[in-house]
Chain A
């Protein structure tokens, strides 16, 4: 057991690339928490995708013992939170589990949109915030300008910001000392009934489900019978440990402490981030506030490129889902793509991460259909349908109106690109909410429809700002608009996998773009093929693939017979792999490319 005043719990808030993981590495290293020979870069990011993309997807934690200048040894618990908006809820829970934050800002780059979203989460959680200026040794570092920016934009005192270089180790001792002296100790009542927050959970091949908790009140011990208040499920604690960052067993965890337990829980799905854990007997009946069930906001179809991989995909998706409660799936069939799954995600990054993991860890080539958001379809009979898949759009005669989700998007951008950013947001049906300046950087806040954002918005933003803009968003609710289902017809046959929900005003543009793309992707046939985009029965865009004019072998003599015949037979066999729409054969690759999110 550790005295409350000897504990400091904190998180690190930073934009991608501003040095969060490197700072965490230095803190671990300087305190000797991990032996030098066991150190590796981005110690806390355990997934390949996390290391590769420099992002944190799962919350990770490390317990550091730090002998401070006052002669006392403190326990510092760092929770490394996911930094991305898709995981905003998980971030908010992690923030509630600690009392303070280090706000890391790149001294040459300044505050970015993503930093803002997370720092507001920290402020919401009543954190004490210590600003840290990283990369102070770079020639381009402008600590004074960035301090002013922190004060202007975020509104916190930056006069005591600590200049560091996480890379070289400069300023790290000062950071450790500031954690002890400037961040508050946790509060809690050791004698009260157990109240612990479920911060995160993951699946371990040897231990089963591992649950990360923060004890608020009471004490949790090995062997205790505990209850998850949301699910009502009861478990016996098999193992109780702290993370250094490897597991070290501990007999009990008291108020203010952070650690993990295992309790023969089979699936991560059985644990809910934000849930309150108490003892089965004499437990509390007041759960911690703020619990929210996971709610997918972006949906897409995942289909195996090779139909024979379907069972493999099912296994892979089920396994991934065991470890990710926020990811939903159900079987889907498409005339174009065969059997697959309609999957729901917390956001676009979540979608990409899951898709990457399926392709990489399970070695399955996937076709991802155009991402769609969840529409509220209000029927004339008063009922409301959640529409995840344009293919399920009910007959229009029964539909009263449709609502779509909207987001508040925060974009920070150098002045010179502002015009292009405003135009992009305007084109995407955005409504400007705010525009302010911090130095030469503008901060734009827009109310945007989510469906315009899931369709290549981020790529366009990167391209018009040459990568200098940062972007973050949060859901703000639903709003009625003039939304229609756009169908694509190839040689007058509708192709289900290509239909999508669009705003009426944007339909022509999207339809034209799709028709043009398909014109290049579908090979010429012996007849001409019309490609049309249509709303209901009305054609809004059209292209024509001209008929094949020339496909003949120039030379074919006695020595060529065997080879040429084999070639034609092979080509004929290749045609069998194409998807047949009426008389038109569409190569699988055409779907892949037509639906590709340009990434």
Chain B
């Protein structure tokens, strides 16, 4: 059995366009007035066919439309893509198709069309339930609009998740508690709660470097907010199953679990990354980031991939460790050892257990709640010295 089968097999499709660029976002997104959706359709279908030929015989677990803003795709385009996918791979019993959507009224009008196309789950970028903060985050919708879009979504789909960004500028613990309480009351089965991260190459990043992004929480406040989030969500029956993701039992994002369990995933679209095990060797794949660059490459060469790099077993093990420790279920050390040939440093693990950052459950290594808050430091300790 190939290692990837411990995680499953999913397909990620990247739609690179947005109505406008949000100041915190470092994803591969572009604002473009004219998009020829038929031309894009042909490229996506061609890539699905190519990938299908390479992964023949596999069962596909999940599809994820990410972006950008995939809710700007015409439902017909989504339908054509999903038709092609269904024709290419057999589907698993726990089949899941997620699409990321922005909660504007225009986009909400397409939700039914997505459902009819075969989307089973919607992930909405609500980000805040507070209009001032939405403006500051550069969002084009209001909180009221978001609530309405969410109601439409839950009428169309059994599974709807939404994202919130917290630890925002000037946000207090009390304010966040109120906002999160409200969010938990309206939520269905899944929530992604991200602390605002200032990334290089974003408008916030530039403002931060210039010393003009004020009121960001100090580490201690951010830590308090994180701890509060864990407590409130757990009490509401939506415990964290990953650092920033909360779900009712059984409602976890199956697609994202493939990443964290270090399964295989194909990446289609501009800037989409993949991990594919072919002939027993795991490869990292990526594609041109520029939308037109990718489109032309697919059209002229029939191959959207730009690089396909073998991942040495040690690196694969490190990637598995880094991803799986984010999960409440943790890392299977037996699996890690099978990949790397050895376990992470036993003394380090013992020391971190002693300090209540890690715990063992059979062959699993799990970050405690304390440990998850300092996961980067933990992983740095556990990673072998290069």
The answer to the question of A573 belonging to the interface, with a C-beta cut-off of 8 Å to chain B, is yes
Nearest-CB residue, chain A, relative to B379 = A568
Would B380 and A565 count as touching, CB distance under 8 A? no
A562 → chain B, closest Cβ, in Å?
A: 6
Decide yes or no: A561 and B386 within 8 Å by CB, A571-B380, A572-B380 being known contacts.
no
Would A553 and B323 count as touching, CB distance under 8 A? no
The answer to the question of B377 belonging to the interface, with a C-beta cut-off of 8 Å to chain A, is yes
Would B323 and A561 count as touching, CB distance under 8 A? yes
The answer to the question of B361 belonging to the interface, with a C-beta cut-off of 8 Å to chain A, is no
By a CB distance below 8 angstroms, the chain B residues around A550 are: 219, 222-223, 226, 373-374
Decide yes or no: A561 and B319 within 8 Å by CB, A551-B377, A554-B197 being known contacts.
yes
Which residues between 528 and 582 of chain A lie within 8 Å of chain B, taking CB atoms? 546, 548-559, 561-562, 564-565, 568-569, 571-573, 575-576
By a CB distance below 8 angstroms, the chain B residues around A569 are: 318, 383, 386
Nearest-CB residue, chain B, relative to A562 = B284
The answer to the question of B315 belonging to the interface, with a C-beta cut-off of 8 Å to chain A, is yes
The answer to the question of B115 belonging to the interface, with a C-beta cut-off of 8 Å to chain A, is no
CA distance A572 to B373 in the complex (A): 18
CA distance A572 to B374 in the complex (A): 14
Nearest-CB residue, chain A, relative to B217 = A550
The answer to the question of A120 belonging to the interface, with a C-beta cut-off of 8 Å to chain B, is no
The answer to the question of B256 belonging to the interface, with a C-beta cut-off of 8 Å to chain A, is yes
Would A558 and B274 count as touching, CB distance under 8 A? yes
CA distance A393 to B379 in the complex (A): 42
The answer to the question of A526 belonging to the interface, with a C-beta cut-off of 8 Å to chain B, is yes
By a CB distance below 8 angstroms, the chain B residues around A565 are: 315, 318-319, 322
Nearest-CB residue, chain B, relative to A575 = B380
By a CB distance below 8 angstroms, the chain B residues around A556 are: 243, 259, 322-323, 326
By a CB distance below 8 angstroms, the chain B residues around A558 are: 12, 258-259, 265, 267, 273-275
The answer to the question of B272 belonging to the interface, with a C-beta cut-off of 8 Å to chain A, is yes
Which residues between 186 and 208 of chain B lie within 8 Å of chain A, taking CB atoms? 194-197
CA distance A548 to B197 in the complex (A): 17
Nearest-CB residue, chain A, relative to B377 = A551
Would A552 and B374 count as touching, CB distance under 8 A? yes
Would A549 and B259 count as touching, CB distance under 8 A? no
By a CB distance below 8 angstroms, the chain A residues around B244 are: 554-555
The answer to the question of B254 belonging to the interface, with a C-beta cut-off of 8 Å to chain A, is no
The answer to the question of A362 belonging to the interface, with a C-beta cut-off of 8 Å to chain B, is no
Would A559 and B267 count as touching, CB distance under 8 A? yes
By a CB distance below 8 angstroms, the chain A residues around B375 are: 551-553
The answer to the question of B271 belonging to the interface, with a C-beta cut-off of 8 Å to chain A, is yes
Nearest-CB residue, chain A, relative to B242 = A556
The answer to the question of A482 belonging to the interface, with a C-beta cut-off of 8 Å to chain B, is no
Residue-by-residue, is A167-204 near B (CB-CB < 8 Å gives 1, otherwise 0)? 00000000000000000000000000000000000000
By a CB distance below 8 angstroms, the chain A residues around B326 are: 556
Would B322 and A557 count as touching, CB distance under 8 A? no
Decide yes or no: A561 and B259 within 8 Å by CB, A556-B323, A572-B383 being known contacts.
yes
Would B223 and A561 count as touching, CB distance under 8 A? no
Nearest-CB residue, chain A, relative to B370 = A549
Question: Of A552, A555, A562, which is in contact with the most chain B CB atoms at under 10 Å from its CB?
Answer: A552
Would B380 and A549 count as touching, CB distance under 8 A? no
The answer to the question of B355 belonging to the interface, with a C-beta cut-off of 8 Å to chain A, is yes
Nearest-CB residue, chain B, relative to A569 = B386
By a CB distance below 8 angstroms, the chain B residues around A552 are: 243, 372-376
By a CB distance below 8 angstroms, the chain B residues around A571 are: 376, 380
By a CB distance below 8 angstroms, the chain A residues around B284 are: 561-562
CA distance A554 to B275 in the complex (A): 21
Residue from A548, A568, A575 in contact with B374 in the complex, judged by beta carbons closer than 8 Å: A548
CA distance A552 to B326 in the complex (A): 9
Decide yes or no: A549 and B322 within 8 Å by CB, A526-B355, A554-B194, A568-B379 being known contacts.
no
Would B271 and A559 count as touching, CB distance under 8 A? yes
B165 → chain A, closest Cβ, in Å?
A: 9
By a CB distance below 8 angstroms, the chain B residues around A546 are: 220
The answer to the question of B357 belonging to the interface, with a C-beta cut-off of 8 Å to chain A, is yes
Nearest-CB residue, chain A, relative to B256 = A557
CA distance A28 to B319 in the complex (A): 73
CA distance A513 to B373 in the complex (A): 32
CA distance A576 to B383 in the complex (A): 13
Residue from A524, A554, A559, A568 in contact with B383 in the complex, judged by beta carbons closer than 8 Å: A568
CA distance A549 to B383 in the complex (A): 20
Q: How many residues of B contact A (CB 8 A)?
A: 45
A571 → chain B, closest Cβ, in Å?
A: 6
Would A568 and B386 count as touching, CB distance under 8 A? no
A558 → chain B, closest Cβ, in Å?
A: 4
By a CB distance below 8 angstroms, the chain A residues around B318 are: 565, 569
A564 → chain B, closest Cβ, in Å?
A: 7
Nearest-CB residue, chain A, relative to B224 = A549
Would B271 and A527 count as touching, CB distance under 8 A? no
By a CB distance below 8 angstroms, the chain B residues around A549 are: 219-220, 223, 373-374
By a CB distance below 8 angstroms, the chain B residues around A561 are: 259, 273, 275, 284, 319, 322-323
By a CB distance below 8 angstroms, the chain A residues around B385 are: 572, 576
By a CB distance below 8 angstroms, the chain A residues around B322 are: 556, 561, 564-565, 568
By a CB distance below 8 angstroms, the chain A residues around B372 are: 552
By a CB distance below 8 angstroms, the chain B residues around A573 are: 386
Nearest-CB residue, chain B, relative to A525 = B377
By a CB distance below 8 angstroms, the chain B residues around A553 are: 197, 243, 375-376
By a CB distance below 8 angstroms, the chain A residues around B271 are: 559
A111 → chain B, closest Cβ, in Å?
A: 44
B65 → chain A, closest Cβ, in Å?
A: 13
Nearest-CB residue, chain A, relative to B376 = A551
Which residues between 355 and 383 of chain B lie within 8 Å of chain A, taking CB atoms? 355, 357, 372-381, 383
B231 → chain A, closest Cβ, in Å?
A: 15
CA distance A458 to B372 in the complex (A): 49
By a CB distance below 8 angstroms, the chain A residues around B319 are: 561, 565
Would B256 and A568 count as touching, CB distance under 8 A? no
Residue from B196, B219, B357 in contact with A526 in the complex, judged by beta carbons closer than 8 Å: B357
Nearest-CB residue, chain B, relative to A548 = B374
CA distance A524 to B373 in the complex (A): 14
Would B374 and A555 count as touching, CB distance under 8 A? no
Would B194 and A555 count as touching, CB distance under 8 A? yes
B204 → chain A, closest Cβ, in Å?
A: 14
By a CB distance below 8 angstroms, the chain B residues around A526 are: 352, 355, 357, 374, 377-378, 381
A569 → chain B, closest Cβ, in Å?
A: 6
Nearest-CB residue, chain B, relative to A558 = B259
B256 → chain A, closest Cβ, in Å?
A: 6
CA distance A572 to B385 in the complex (A): 7
Would A568 and B376 count as touching, CB distance under 8 A? yes
B50 → chain A, closest Cβ, in Å?
A: 19
Residue-by-residue, is A570-596 near B (CB-CB < 8 Å gives 1, otherwise 0)? 011101100000000000000000000
CA distance A562 to B311 in the complex (A): 10
Would B386 and A559 count as touching, CB distance under 8 A? no
Which residues between 298 and 327 of chain A lie within 8 Å of chain B, taking CB atoms? none
CA distance A561 to B275 in the complex (A): 10
**Interface CB pairs A-B, < 8 A, 18:** A526-B378, A527-B355, A548-B219, A549-B374, A550-B222, A550-B373, A550-B374, A552-B243, A552-B375, A553-B197, A556-B323, A558-B265, A558-B267, A558-B274, A559-B12, A559-B271, A571-B380, A572-B385
Given contacts A527-B355, A551-B376, 13 further A-B contacts (CB under 8 A): A526-B378, A549-B223, A551-B377, A552-B376, A553-B376, A554-B244, A556-B259, A557-B256, A558-B274, A559-B272, A561-B273, A562-B284, A565-B319
A-B pairs with lowest CB-CB distance, top 6: A549-B223, A550-B223, A552-B375, A559-B273, A554-B194, A558-B259
Listed in ascending order, the chain A residues whose CB lies under 8 Å from chain B are: 524, 526-527, 546, 548-559, 561-562, 564-565, 568-569, 571-573, 575-576
